[in-house]
Structure formats: structure tokens, C-alpha cells
Amino acid sequence: MGKSTEAAKSWSVASVLNLPFLSCCLFFHIMKANLPVSFAGNGHAQTFNAPDDLPKTVMRTLNQGSNPMSMDFHPIQQTLLLVGTDVGEIGLWEVGSRERLVSKNFKVWHLNACSMPSQVWDAGNGARQYTFAGHEAPVFSVCPYYKENIQYFFSASIDGRVKIWQCDNMRSRVDFEAPGRWCTTMAYSADGTRIFSCGTSKNGESYIVEWSGGNVQRTYRGFRNRSLGVVQFDTTKNRFLAAGDNFSIKFWDMDNVQLLTTVDADGGLPACPRIRFNKDGTLLAVSGNENGIKILANVDGMRLLRTFDSLSNDLLQHLRLGQS
């Protein structure tokens, strides 16, 4: 995964949780100093032309061996998928060829403990750089961002408190409360101009909201009355939101609070599937039942994956000719 960090120093922010609904999970994010983001202006580019451009067609089915809890695509090699599971297993997949390149077990040191501090490492040498303490409840998620040559990150704890930290002075700059007041994750739009959160309350009420200056700007509709687990969401390009809820994937246009469309990925999804887009939004990884991962694609994603099929067929034909 080193190609994304060749141009500049990168940091990794992580927290380890042991909650009843998550078991032992490793959450991590890479903060890339070589990918600056502009926060000026109000325009939001819309790369996709229609909902038909969303990745909705199942093109690959993988078996991780244990239940996927978090997934991330490589920012440059966009068919490489990193997976973390409920038993601490880490897998690296080339989804084009369906090949698992790496499988390792991550040992969580204290299975009965939850982490309240957030920690920052240098992704190049593995050295821990900073530890941020200030939450009064365990940290559920982190979300890094980069502005004007300064590294920041959000941390959200299971009491619903969200803090923004500046990495170079160890200080919490902003503190606010997220809807649901329990398990919350944050995500930016691709251009870094819009920030969203997705939260689920202890009663199963789920919320996706857009924030502006610490205030809720809009709340998106379309969740079932009571979610059957903690909902995970993601953004793609600068237009669409997606969340796993009610055994399906739900999509919204960022500028419209009404539900845009729903996809069941040919069935076989858990109540709240984990999801992750690749950088271009052409592929969508979705956790399935029985330790499975489904890779959904739009037209461009299907074209990308079919290049791997063509290469495999060419190689097989070459081997057959060599044996004859």
C-alpha cells in the first residue's frame, strides 16, 4: 500500500474498540499530506450524470473467512481492497482477479478494554507520533482531513460527542454533539468542502446529516424506524451518499434529503452491511452473510473488472497452447 505515501509524509489515526455489537475491530485511516483539499467556494462538482452511474451490479463475490467489519480501497490502485474483521483478521484483496494477496491476524492487547484516546502514527516507519485524550467515553470512529498544510481529525465517542483535533498542538478545537448520541462516523465529500455524519442511537434510530459550522444543515430521510444494528455509510465523488440499512444499500443525492434508490445486491446481505466506495466511485464493496464481500460496479467499474477477466483468459489460452 506504499504508493499512496511516496510523495509526502502520511499519518495513520486509529482506535481499537471492543463493544458488544462490534467484537474486536481495528479502525484506521490514512491522512495523506500529498493530497491537499480546498475548502473555498460553494460550488460542488457533479461527476455522475444519473443514478444509473451508481455501482449497483454485483461483479465479484469474495469469502474473507471471518465477518468483515471495516473495508478500504487503495487510493491509487483502486481494485486493491483492505479488510478488517471481527476476530482481528486483516486481508488484502485484488478484487479484479479475486485473489487474496495477504492474510494476517491482528492481536488486540486488551480484549475487555475500550480505547478513549486516539493515537497517530507515522505510516512510513510505524512510530507513534501523538496521543489525544479528552473524551469521557470510548472513541468509536475517527475521520482525518487536511486544510492549509495543517492536519486535523474528527473523533466521535459512544456518548455522541464529536471533537476536532489539530495534530500539531494536541488541542481539541471544536466539541459538539451528534444526532443519536451513540455510535457516529464522519466523512467528507471528495473535494473536502462538505462534511457528513452517520449515527445510530441505542434505540436503533439512525441519522445521516450534513454539517455546516458545527450546526446540522440537513437531515436525510429513508431509514427504517429501528435499524437492526449500527449503520455504516460512505460518500462518493461530490454527489452521492450511501448507507447499509435494512438488508440493503440505500443511496441519496447530497442535495436532496429524500431517498434516491435502494439496492439489495442480489440478496444475502446482513441487516446493516458494511460498505466502501473506491476513490473513483466505480466500485462498491459490501459485506455479505457468511463472511462474504460483494463487489458492485457501475459501467466503468464493470469495464475495469473485465480487463482482469480478459487477462486471465489470455493467460489460460497461452498456457494451453504451451502444453499442446
Q: Kindly list the domain boundaries of the chain, sorted by start residue.
A: 2-323
Nearest to 56 by CA among 296, 300, 242: 296
User: Architecture of domain 2-323 in CATH?
Assistant: 7 Propeller (2.130)
Average pLDDT value over all residues in the chain = 80
Mean pLDDT of 16-24: 40
pLDDT at 243 > cutoff 70: yes
Q: 16, exposed or middle or buried, with CB in 10 Å at 0-12, 13-18, 19+?
A: buried
pLDDT at 49 > cutoff 90: no
Distance CA 10, CA 80 (A): 19
In the chain, the amino acid numbered 77 is Q
In the chain, the amino acid numbered 217 is Q
Distance CA 232, CA 267 (A): 18
Cell numbers describing residue 229: 444494528
pLDDT digits (tens, 9 = 90+) for 261-309: 999 999 999 999 999 999 999 999 999 999 999 999 999 999 999 988 7
Could you tell me if 71 and 81 are in contact, meaning their C-beta atoms sit under 8 angstroms apart? yes
Mean pLDDT of 58-81: 94
**pLDDT at residue 312, rounded to an integer:** 56
- Chain position carrying cell 483502486: 78
- pTM reported for the whole predicted model: 0.81
pLDDT at 126 > cutoff 90: no
Across the chain, which distance is largest between two alpha carbons, in Å? 70
Q: 38, exposed or middle or buried, with CB in 10 Å at 0-12, 13-18, 19+?
A: exposed
pLDDT band of 174, cuts 50, 70, 90: confident
Percent of the chain with pLDDT over 70: 77
pLDDT band of 151, cuts 50, 70, 90: confident
Bridge-based pairing of strands 259-263 and 248-253 is antiparallel
pLDDT digits (tens, 9 = 90+) for 253-268: 999 999 999 999 999 9
Specify which residues 235 forms β-bridges with. 241
Could you tell me if 242 and 232 are in contact, meaning their C-beta atoms sit under 8 angstroms apart? no
pLDDT band of 111, cuts 50, 70, 90: low
Specify which residues 31 forms β-bridges with. 11
- 27 or 50, greater pLDDT: 50
**pLDDT at residue 41, rounded to an integer:** 33
* Least confident span in 141-145, 164-168, 279-283: 164-168
pLDDT at 114 > cutoff 70: no
Could you tell me if 29 and 13 are in contact, meaning their C-beta atoms sit under 8 angstroms apart? yes
Distance CA 102, CA 65 (A): 13
